[in-house]
């Protein structure tokens, strides 16, 4: 299967996504604790995320993932790299 990926020189992170858009998680950039916290909320590589609210500078963003809403601090959102299309696993 073909793998769709965006060719950004820098990876696209969740904090850059506008309200109303849906993206797919590419990877979580962070240590053990960071990964665990995202995983607990149902955020894993490959999952679709809809950004519900991405407001003022520096403020948190609100996302919808697997039917629940989660608030992420902007710094936390930067740990999540995303793709604009569904990533098809080649394993």
Could you count the other beta carbons within 10 Å of the beta carbon of residue 49? 24
User: Interface mask (CB under 8 A) for other proteins, residues 16-55, using x and -?
Assistant: ------------x---xxxxxxxxxxx-xx-------x-x
Q: Does 12 bind other proteins (CB under 8 A)?
A: no
Q: Radius of gyration over alpha carbons of the chain, in Å?
A: 13
Q: How far is the CB of 85 from other proteins (least distance, A)?
A: 19
Phi, psi of 38 (to 5 degrees): -70, -45
Tell me which residues touch other proteins (CB under 8 A).
Answer: 28, 32-42, 44-45, 53, 55-56, 58-60, 62, 65-76
């Amino acid at each position: 299967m073909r793998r769709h990926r965006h060719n950004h020189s820098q990876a696209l992170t969740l904090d850059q996504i506008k309200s109303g858009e849906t993206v797919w998680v590419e990877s979580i950039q962070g240590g053990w604790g960071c990964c665990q916290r995202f995983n607990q909320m149902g955020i894993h590589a490959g999952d679709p995320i809809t950004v519900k609210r991405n407001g003022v500078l520096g403020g948190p963003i609100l996302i919808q993932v697997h039917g629940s809403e989660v608030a992420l601090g902007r710094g936390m959102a930067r740990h999540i790299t995303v793709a604009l299309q569904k990533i098809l696993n080649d394993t």
